[in-house]
């Protein structure tokens, strides 16, 4: 409390006695992107201090994992980052495969990559829609959701569910792509590219949008690394770090794509990186479709009970929000002994106090939106 | 200023496009068609050749359900004693709590008897708190509706047919590869 008082005294825009006011934001605030609560100490329109409260969506996923068999844990991973389900499934499956030394069929790897990149676009489109809302634009949301809907119809045709797919398996995928997949994807990609371009055109260089986002929530590269930033938030600061390139997993070393990098580390740079990433994902999908071989997709394990050898493994992957890590400890039984998730949203959110202090109340929503958090992953 | 005009033009263009061909559906009036693989609520299938459920109550799905939403028990099959069925045991009691079910499809994947399917049913709001605890007759009814609508063939039968076709193709190839003389001799 004492440092808040000094903060108030030093940061007060006027020399009069500062008046402290507590402003509760959330957990039911529409712009907190879930159930996230911030207690803001404000002096006029200026934020003096922030206290974030998380845990409203805590479901104990990590503990639940210890009670489920290895093939059941995939359903829990679907529900961590619930806008990028395939990416979550991928990292868990790869962790178990690494522990067991399991080979994945070639075609299954391509199927996984295509679906993951489609999911990355879907996730970023949702982000574009919500950042538009946060900055006061209603229209981009409708456009972005139209594009996302197209992707989700394809997901439904492939996996049977629009969001909680449970499609990846340890050592492969559940079943082969549907017979009409080629037609579906050929019908999907051209309008999807248009949707991405449209959301880019309507928002990125819009005057009002630029004014709202440029030089807001700036964070330097060193500080970003200290806070554990990953993904678009880190790349927005000008650091070229992408797990897909730095530590290639799956078959990402076979594709030719660039890592978009921002300059200043402000909200607009983070936005720009995400928009550019959608184009890169489209590039990856097109290459993967060209290279995709035929053959088996189902795991060589068949329906046998999965019992990895005792030991521990750490696997990381690039999610739309950043680097997700899975630390899996097995004691040789059919259930994980311990499963720790390193969620990207949680680490990115840890900088919220640093970013919001000394900014305006009106900017708090945009700054939070530009971090693109998913509370299912923050609280787990 | 120019940017705002540009943005407005895009919005207007989309509006006219939307008026011409709307993207949204007025949901309760025009329901969205589901894809063939759509995973709705689980249901039990009916073996119309014999006139009994496929399910034997073996509990594999119940043991593997991540949310423990099902319960079942088995009994001796009366039709088997009469010699009409090859199933020694048959399901006696089966209940799924659809409020607990997370529609993951693990039960369908692990079933050894093609007895459970993910139906296309997804609208099941009820007025009672436990209205979504569905027992055996209702499950079979949903399952039969699904079987009728999708012309369902048991997956094991499909897999066997596929394997037979592959074997036949392989045999035909092998016969082709043999020298023509040998084939004539065989004739």
Q: How confident is the prediction for chain B on average, in pLDDT?
A: 84
A207/chain B closest Cα distance in angstroms: 7
Helix (H) or strand (E) holding A149: helix A139-159
CATH of the domain at B159: 3.30.70.3270
pLDDT (tens digit per residue) in B5-61:
877 887 788 888 878 888 888 888 888 888 888 988 999 998 888 888 888 888 888
Residue B150 pLDDT exceeds 80: yes
Q: Give residue A122's pLDDT.
A: 92
Contact B106 A156 (CB under 8 A): no
Strands (E), A21-98: 21-25, 37-43, 46-53
Q: Give residue B17's pLDDT.
A: 82
Interface mutation vs chain A, best among B10, B19, B35, B60, most A CBs within 10 Å: B35
Helix (H) or strand (E) holding A181: helix A181-203
Is residue B141 in some structural domain? yes
| Shortest CA distance from B22: residue in chain A | A146
Is residue B186 in some structural domain? no
A367/chain B closest Cα distance in angstroms: 23
DSSP A278-301: HHHHHHHHHHHHHH---S--S-TT
Q: Give residue B179's pLDDT.
A: 59
Residue B67 has phi, psi (to 5 degrees) of -115, 5
Contact B11 A139 (CB under 8 A): yes
Interface of A with B (CB under 8 A): 68-69, 71-72, 75-76, 139, 143, 146, 149, 153, 156-161, 164, 166, 174, 178, 198, 201-202, 205-208, 303
List the single range of A157-166, B55-64, B172-181 with lowest mean pLDDT: B172-181
Q: Which residues in chain A are closer than 8 Å to B66, comparing Cβ atoms?
A: 68, 72, 75-76
**pLDDT class of A279 with cuts at 50, 70, 90:** very high
- Residue the block writes with tokens 């640093």: A354
Of B1, B103, B109, the CB nearest to A164: B103
| Shortest CA distance from B38: residue in chain A | A160
Domain-by-domain residue ranges, chain A? 61-353
Residue A4 pLDDT exceeds 80: no
Q: Give residue B180's pLDDT.
A: 53
DSSP chain B: -HHHHHHHHHHHHHHHHHHHS-----TTTSPPPPPTT---SEEE-EETTTTEES-----HHHHH-TT--EEEEEEE-HHHHTTS-S-SEEEEEEEEETTT-----HHHHH-SSS-EEE-S------SSTTTTEEEHHHHHHHHHHHHHHHT---HHHHHHHHHHHHHHHHHHHHHHHS-HHHHHHH-
Is residue B62 in some structural domain? yes
pLDDT (tens digit per residue) in B80-138:
777 788 888 888 889 999 888 898 888 998 888 888 999 888 887 888 888 888 888 88
- Whether the Cβ atoms of residue A271 and residue A370 lie closer than 8 Å to each other: yes
Q: Dihedral sign for Cα A62, A66, A67, A71, please.
A: positive
Q: Give residue B178's pLDDT.
A: 67
For residue B43, the enclosing domain spans: 24-172
Q: Give residue A3's pLDDT.
A: 60
User: Is domain A61-353 annotated with CATH 1.10.645.10?
Assistant: yes
- Residue the block writes with tokens 């004691």: A331
Residue A107 pLDDT exceeds 80: yes
C-alpha to C-alpha distance for A251 and A272, rounded to whole angstroms: 26
Is residue B99 in some structural domain? yes
Number of domains in chain B: 1
C-alpha B70 chain-centroid distance: 17
Q: Which residues in chain B are closer than 8 Å to A166, comparing Cβ atoms?
A: 104-106
Of B38, B66, B102, the CB nearest to A160: B38
B135/chain A closest Cα distance in angstroms: 24
Q: Which residues in chain B are closer than 8 Å to A149, comparing Cβ atoms?
A: 23
Interface of B with A (CB under 8 A): 1, 3-4, 7, 10-11, 14, 23, 34-39, 64, 66, 102-106, 109-110, 118
List the single range of A101-105, A340-344, B2-6 with lowest mean pLDDT: B2-6
Q: How far is residue A131 from each of residues A135, A282, A345, B55, B146, measured CA to CA in Å?
A: 6, 21, 16, 50, 42
| Radius of gyration for the alpha carbons in chain A, expressed in angstroms and rounded | 22
| Shortest CA distance from B122: residue in chain A | A161
Please give the ipTM for the structure prediction.
0.80
C-alpha to C-alpha distance for A123 and A274, rounded to whole angstroms: 10
A76/chain B closest Cα distance in angstroms: 9
Interface mutation vs chain B, best among A69, A76, A141, A160, most B CBs within 10 Å: A160
Of B1, B11, B106, the CB nearest to A72: B106
Q: Which residues in chain B are closer than 8 Å to A145, comparing Cβ atoms?
A: none
Token reading at B22: 């709307």
Q: Give residue A9's pLDDT.
A: 53
Contact A159 B66 (CB under 8 A): no
Report percent pLDDT > 70 for chain A: 95
**pLDDT class of A116 with cuts at 50, 70, 90:** very high
């Amino acid at each position: 409390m004492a440092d808040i008082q000094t903060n108030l005294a030093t940061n007060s825009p006027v020399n009069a006695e500062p008046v402290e006011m507590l402003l509760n934001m959330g957990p039911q605030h529409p712009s907190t992107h879930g159930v996230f609560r911030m207690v803001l100490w404000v002096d006029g329109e200026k934020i003096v201090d922030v206290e974030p409260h998380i845990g409203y969506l805590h479901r104990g996923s990590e503990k639940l994992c210890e009670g489920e068999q290895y093939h059941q844990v995939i359903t829990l991973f679907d529900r961590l980052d619930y806008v990028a389900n395939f990416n979550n499934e991928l990292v868990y499956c790869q962790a178990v495969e690494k522990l067991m030394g399991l080979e994945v069929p070639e075609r299954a790897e391509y199927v996984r990559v295509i679906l993951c990149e489609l999911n990355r676009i879907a996730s970023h489109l949702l982000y574009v829609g919500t950042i538009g809302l946060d900055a006061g634009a209603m229209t981009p949301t409708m456009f972005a959701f139209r594009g996302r809907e197209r992707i989700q119809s394809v997901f439904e045709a492939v996996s049977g569910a629009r969001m909680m797919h449970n499609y990846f398996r340890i050592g492969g995928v559940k079943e082969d792509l549907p017979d009409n997949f080629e037609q579906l994807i050929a019908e999907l990609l051209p309008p999807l590219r248009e949707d991405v371009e449209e959301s880019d055109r309507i928002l990125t260089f819009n005057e009002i949008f630029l004014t709202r986002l440029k030089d807001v929530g700036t964070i330097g590269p060193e500080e970003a690394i200290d806070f554990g930033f990953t993904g678009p938030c880190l790349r927005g600061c000008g650091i070229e770090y992408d797990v897909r390139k730095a530590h290639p997993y799956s078959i990402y070393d076979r594709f030719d794509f660039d890592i978009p990098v921002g300059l200043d580390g402000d909200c607009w740079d983070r936005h720009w990186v995400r928009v550019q990433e959608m184009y890169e994902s489209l590039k990856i999908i097109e290459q993967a479709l060209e290279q995709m071989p035929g053959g088996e997709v189902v795991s060589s394990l068949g329906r046998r009970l999965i019992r990895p050898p005792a030991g521990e493994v750490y696997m990381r992957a690039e999610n739309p929000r950043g680097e997700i890590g899975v630390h899996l400890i097995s004691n040789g039984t059919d259930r994980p002994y311990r499963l720790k998730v390193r969620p990207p949203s949680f680490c990115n959110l840890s900088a919220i106090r640093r970013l919001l202090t000394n900014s305006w109340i009106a900017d708090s929503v945009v700054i939070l939106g530009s971090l693109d958090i998913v509370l299912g992953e923050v609280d787990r | 200023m120019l940017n705002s005009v540009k943005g407005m033009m895009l919005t207007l263009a989309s509006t006219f496009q939307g008026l011409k061909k709307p993207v949204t559906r007025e949901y309760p009036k025009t329901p969205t068609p589901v894809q063939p693989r759509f995973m709705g609520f689980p249901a039990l299938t009916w073996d119309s050749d014999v006139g009994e459920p496929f399910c034997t109550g073996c509990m594999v799905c119940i043991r593997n359900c991540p949310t423990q939403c099902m319960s079942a028990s088995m009994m001796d099959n009366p039709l088997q004693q009469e010699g009409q069925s090859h199933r020694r045991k048959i399901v006696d009691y089966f209940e799924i709590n659809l409020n607990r079910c997370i529609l993951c499809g693990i039960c369908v994947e692990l079933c050894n008897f093609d007895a459970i399917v993910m139906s296309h049913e997804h609208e099941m709001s009820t007025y009672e708190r436990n209205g979504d605890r569905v027992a055996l007759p209702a499950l079979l009814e949903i399952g039969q509706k699904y079987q009728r609508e999708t012309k369902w063939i048991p997956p094991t039968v499909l897999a066997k047919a596929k394997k037979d076709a592959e074997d036949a193709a392989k045999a035909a190839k092998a016969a082709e590869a043999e020298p023509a003389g040998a084939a004539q001799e065989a004739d």
